[in-house]
Amino acid sequence: MTIRIVTDSTCDLPQVLIEELDISVVPMFINIGDRGYLDGLEITRKEFYTNLPDYPEHPTTGTPGTNSFHQVFEDLAETGASQILSIHISESLSATVQVARMAASEYSRVPVTVRDGGQLSIGTGFQVEMAARMARAGASMEAILIALEDLAARTFVSAALDTLEFLRRSGRMNRFLHGIGSLLKLKPILTMRNGKPGSERVRTFGKAQERLIEMVRENLPIERFTLLHTNASEKAEEFVDRIRHLLPEDEIFSMDITPVIGAHIGPGAVGFAVVSKSS
């Protein structure tokens, strides 16, 4: 039995880990004006975030088609996969998992299981990594899915945005805006747990940092922690310096969030993904 893992480019796993664990990544699309880019392949994150405020038209994002998934499934079957597990960004934020399900229903060469990760960014990536490691160790599909349910229940992602402007421009994540209001000077804080997006609002970056620290405390004790930002590494490091005493002594990874998500939240956002320890 050989289980192979598929995900999409919003998972934000480092490329070195994707290659080490032989994970297949289906890229999302970023459309800037009349030109389309494959996320993670055809435009750098730094280039995207540097130019984002000044693009004449706000970038749009798109999901891969069923053909993209069919090709990946077929490639994996050709190289020995007996089962495939496809894990994706929460369907409350993207249609990607729905497309993957459609593709899986049309593919019959090997069984394909599609999982809504109920998360975004590295919150999804944590599940993808665990699945890949368990599959490599010979775990069954049933055992992997049970472990992912437990992991998902302990995962929380939050980010403080520099401005509401990019959420307003994108129009694609307006479910986050419920309860925030329309004052663009507010500093929104977005959250995600178990497939349910949430939002809070504060008036200054300092208050946003204080609230993020509270959220870290609310998830103690911590098993895993990753720092997240959108082209704001210095702000992110300042934040993590304030909470280092709350974190495991492991190396703290810092991830620049994929442009497919960043197109909606804009540059200057700082946040984290955390997995709480099992009780």
- pLDDT band at 175, cuts 50/70/90? low
| Residue 178 pLDDT > 50 | no
- pLDDT band at 249, cuts 50/70/90? confident
The pair of three-digit structure tokens given for residue 43, joined into one six-digit string: 């435009």
How high is the mean pLDDT of the chain? Answer: 92
| Residue 177 pLDDT > 90 | no
- pLDDT band at 44, cuts 50/70/90? confident
| Residue 176 pLDDT > 90 | no
| Residue 172 pLDDT > 80 | no
| Residue 258 pLDDT > 60 | yes
209-233 per-position pLDDT tens digit: 999 999 999 999 999 999 999 999 9
The pair of three-digit structure tokens given for residue 170, joined into one six-digit string: 């994108």
Average of per-residue pLDDT across 237-245:
95
pLDDT at 186: 77
Which CATH number fits the domain 155-276, given the four candidates 3.30.1180.10, 3.40.50.300, 3.20.20.10, 3.10.20.30?
A: 3.30.1180.10
List b or e across 140-177, with b for residues whose CB sees 16 or more CB atoms inside 10 angstroms. Answer: ebeebeebbeebbebbbbbbbbbbbebbbbbeebeebb
pLDDT at 250: 83
pLDDT at 187: 85
Average of per-residue pLDDT across 251-278:
93
Average of per-residue pLDDT across 65-71:
97
Instruction: Provide the 10 A C-beta neighbour count for residue 210.
Output: 14
Distance CA 165, CA 156 (A): 24
With a pLDDT cut of 70, the percent of the chain lying above it is: 94
Average of per-residue pLDDT across 158-183:
68
Task: Indicate the pTM of the whole model.
Answer: 0.93
Domain 3-28+63-153 carries which CATH code?
3.40.50.10170
Across 74-78, 115-119, 194-198, least confident range? 194-198
With a pLDDT cut of 90, the percent of the chain lying above it is: 78
| Residue 135 pLDDT > 70 | yes
pLDDT at 111: 98
28-37 per-position pLDDT tens digit: 999 999 999 9
Domain coordinates in residue numbering, the chain: 3-28+63-153, 155-276
Q: CA 27: distance to chain centroid?
A: 13
Average of per-residue pLDDT across 48-73:
93
